[in-house]
Chain A
Amino acid sequence: MFAMVIIITFMGVLATYSVFLYSKNVISQNEKDSLTTIVSEQTQQVYLLLEQSTELSKIISQQDFIVNYLNNEEKEKQDIDVLNKFESYNINNTYSSIYLLNPDGTTLVSTDESFVSKNYSFRDYFKKAIAGENYTDISIGVTSKELGYYFSTPVKDDNRIIGVLVLKMRPDTINELIVNPYLEINREKIGLLTMIDNYGVIFHSNDETKLFKSVTQLDPTILSEIKEKNKFADYEITTLNYDIRFEEIDSEKEIFSTEVKDKSSQDKFILNIVKINKYPFRVMLVESESKIIAEAVSISYTLGLFVLLAVIITLIIVNFLIIHFTKPIYKLSKDLEIIESGNLDYKVGTKAKDEIGQLSRTFDRMISAVKKSRVEIDRKVKEQTSEITEKQKNLENQQIAMLNILEDVQEEKDLKEIETKKIATIIESIGDGVFVIDNNHNIIVFNQTASKISGFSEKEALGKNYKKILKFIFEKDGKINDKFIKDAIRLGSVQEMTNHTLIVKKDGTKIPVADSSSPIKDADGNVIGCVVVFRDVTKEREVDQLKSDFVSIASHQLRTPLTGIRWVSERLLKNSKTLPKKEREYVDDINLSTKKLSRLVDDLLNVSRIEGGNISIKPQEINLNEFINSYIEETRPLITKKNIDFTFKNELKKQEVYTDPSALRNIIQSLVSNAIEYTPQNGKVFISLEKSKTKGNFLIKIKDTGIGIPPKNQATIFEKFTRGDNAQQMKTDGTGFGLFITKQTVEMLKGEIRFESILDKGTTFYVTLPIKSETKAGEKSFV
């Protein structure tokens, strides 16, 4: 606040001073300019007058009478004529005289008698004119003793200067111009207004004291020059004592101003000098600087004072404002500080009606509003806090619930993990190799046993295509045998590995394996993978081999005593004449039993071979006709014994078939002997060979009129240990294996067997066999 006062004061003072200075300058300059203008104007007037005079002089000089006069030697008579002429011009108001000079400078004629016969050749106006120049001079007349202007013009007669005409003018006219009414008014300001000659001598002045003083200090040579010219009679030319030299004022400039100082008084003056064109005169105005300035100053002072006053008033107002506004604001801010510190009950407001008062009352309202809102906020906060506390409680409860759930989930997970581990353990510990592949045939599970059998580690196997790890090949030809895997995926059902499958281990050795593949399906029943279980069957094979070897050896061993019994019985019978009937019967019985036993052993051997899967099929070219006929002959005794009506019909065009003879023999023998044995005395048996309905096959039909197969036995008649319930009555030594073996044999040849039977009417067997059988590898053949 205080600072502002200072600033304002300072600025105010500055303003005042500036105004003062400025106005002073302006005014004084203005003054000077106006004076200069005035002087110029006046000079112009003077000039005009001078011109006028010069012109007049010129005109007069050119008058014929003058020329004539001057040319005429006899001058006396004509003097008066010329004079009269001069006088007739009637210029006495302005001009004091007109006179004519002869080339010597002597006045021949003059309106002023005093001039006549006087010589003025010393005058400049004569000198100049006689040289051919119009000239205007100013001097104090020698004769008249008055100041006058002399306008001289050479009188020419065809370029010969024969005289000089002079026109003398009173100084009053010009005087009047110089000092005119206008200037009278401004006399105070004007100062010194003069006319000066070419030496700078004042010959006109509004101040008479200054007459015939020189503006500048003149050289003594010049002073003597002036004296010689007798311009100013006896007047002593003193100087005005300005500190200026003549060269400086002798300027070619039309108007020129310069500052000078009075050497004695040290006062400052301004010289305005105006040249009068062509004329050796100048108009000079001398102004007192101090006077001008003084005037300006006085004006400026006034102005300045006004400004200062304004400033002061402003200051007062400002101060008033400050006091009125800032103090309360200051107080207000202090009050607000109190409130800020927390005291909301403090009242700021005043009763003042002005803006400050309003503001402070507004503040109060605001504060109370703030207070209210604070209370409100407090309340809300309390509310929120209690809400939050509640929510937190809820969250905590939720958290507990979550934890419980998580525990349960974790439990489940753990259980699942345990389950998974269990399953994994089970899989690992399964004695068989287990691997699981996905739809892309990549291994995703690979148990320990699989690793052992294949020679690949779990790491090596996981993620790879199973074909790279587990190479299942056919034992026979080494070709890939993984159809069972492909079929499981493709058909979506369990597939068994074919027999004689080998697996190629990592090190290249081959191991016989067996088992199956099973598709894995998702909830929608889509196949997403396959589980394959396989085991090393080398031992099994060995066991099988041992078994069949055993069976072989056993049956061989069994046969020996059986054959022994038979042969001895035979011999007994041979010598039957010596044997009593009863004993003979016994021997027969022994024979029968032996035969039965024999057959049983044979059947068992066949069955074991069949079941071992080891029987070979070695097809040969066989002539069916011959084959069957040969068999028939073998059975002839039995046919005759039972008096069977036996027919053999061959409808085939081609007799040659390519099949295994022992297998075929087995089939024929089994069915034909059955037909004969189960047909009572005098029955019929009928064999026919026919074309099969299916291409590539032929049909053997064996029909009898026997006891037939009871319906309840028909379903199981091809199974082991089964005989028809009625079989016993016809054949006592049936083993229950016959049809089983026959069916197996037929199927081994890739044929089909079926029958039709009616109890007590007869049975017909249909056997379809391929005309061309395939070779099957095996170690054994049919017994």
Chain B
Amino acid sequence: MKDIKIVLVEDDEILSKVIKEELEESGFKVYLAMDGEKGLATATDKKPNLVLLDLMLPKMHGFEVLENLKKSPETDKIPVMILTMLGSDDDIKKGLLLGANDYIVKSQHAVGEIVDKVKEFFNEESNPVGKTSKKETKKEVVEEIKEEKKVVKKKKK
């Protein structure tokens, strides 16, 4: 666990502080970036195992950061989780289409839940975990969008 590097791109001081602390307490190594530009640079630099990406960022919007990450071969394989304040379908869909692996709605979850999700993510990577009913619907959406992505990719080709 201690090897896992996470880049956290979040502009709110307090929120970023709390998430960082929680994650570090869970044993993750966290690099913090407070704006999009810095986030991109840090991710490119540190090549983390996960990027937690807020959308509303100064200097560069989260989507733009995501695009850039996915563009560059150095960073395109890094998994990204979008942190959004609103559970807007459009934002989520867009994010997932751009290449994010998952999304978390900050306002709906306690910080602990977020940490759990991250843990889950890494556990899933190594061992596929049974789905929980809570996340089912969301998972379905994710699957759907992944399908769409493939279709879109095929179309683009």
Question: Which residues on A are within 8 Å of B, measured CB to CB?
Answer: 552, 555-556, 559-564, 566-568, 570-571, 574, 598, 602, 618, 626, 629-630, 633-634, 661-662, 780-781, 783
Contacts and interface: CB of A to CB of B under 8 A. Distances in A.
Interface string B53-91: 000100000000000000000000000000001111110
A561 B18 CA distance: 12
A571 B107 contact: no
B22 A630 contact: no
Contacts of B89: 618, 662, 781
A12 B1 CA distance: 183
A566 B86 contact: no
A777 B36 CA distance: 32
Contacts of A633: 133-134
A226 to B, nearest CB: 182
B15 interface: yes
A555 B137 contact: no
A598 B88 CA distance: 17
Contact of B133 (A567, A571, A630): A630
Contacts of A626: 136
B111 A781 contact: no
Contact of B21 (A560, A561, A571, A662): A571
A28 B110 CA distance: 183
A564 B107 contact: no
A26 to B, nearest CB: 156
B29 interface: no
A661 B137 contact: yes
Contact of A568 (B18, B86, B112, B136): B18
Contacts of B134: 630, 633-634
Contacts of B143: none
B88 A563 contact: no
B86 A567 contact: no
A559 B106 CA distance: 9
Q: Which of A559, A567, A598 has the most CB of B within 10 A?
A: A567
Contact of A564 (B18, B21, B86, B136): B18
A745 to B, nearest CB: 15
Nearest to A661: B137
A439 B21 CA distance: 75
B12 interface: yes
B14 interface: yes
Contacts of B87: 783
Nearest to A555: B86
Contacts of B110: 566-567, 570
A574 B18 CA distance: 12
A726 B134 CA distance: 33
B15 A563 contact: yes
Contacts of A662: 89
A182 B23 CA distance: 206
Given A560-B15, A567-B111, A781 B88 contact: yes
A570 B111 contact: yes
Nearest to B113: A570
Contacts of B133: 629-630, 633
Given A564-B12, A564-B18, A574-B112, 15 more contacts: A555-B86, A556-B85, A559-B106, A560-B85, A564-B14, A564-B15, A567-B14, A570-B110, A570-B111, A571-B18, A571-B22, A598-B107, A630-B137, A634-B134, A781-B88
15 contacts: A555-B86, A559-B86, A560-B85, A561-B14, A564-B14, A564-B15, A566-B110, A567-B15, A567-B18, A568-B18, A571-B111, A602-B107, A633-B133, A662-B89, A780-B88
A556 B112 contact: no
Contact of A556 (B14, B86, B111): B86
Interface in B130-156: 133-134, 136-137
A430 to B, nearest CB: 40
Contacts of A562: 107
Contacts of A561: 12, 14
A420 B15 CA distance: 67
B35 to A, nearest CB: 15
A600 to B, nearest CB: 13
A567 to B, nearest CB: 4
Interface string B8-38: 0000101100110110000000000000000
A634 to B, nearest CB: 6
Nearest to B54: A560
A598 B86 CA distance: 12
A563 B107 contact: yes
Nearest to A552: B86
B136 A630 contact: yes
List the 10 closest pairs (A to B, CB-CB), nearest first. A564-B14, A567-B111, A567-B18, A559-B107, A559-B85, A560-B12, A556-B85, A630-B133, A781-B89, A564-B15
Interface in B92-140: 106-107, 110-112, 133-134, 136-137
B136 A563 contact: no
Contacts of B22: 571
B156 to A, nearest CB: 25
Nearest to B132: A633
A508 to B, nearest CB: 31
Q: Which of B19, B87, B133 has the most CB of A within 10 A?
A: B133
B145 to A, nearest CB: 13
Contacts of A602: 107
A571 to B, nearest CB: 6
A571 B14 CA distance: 12
Nearest to A571: B18
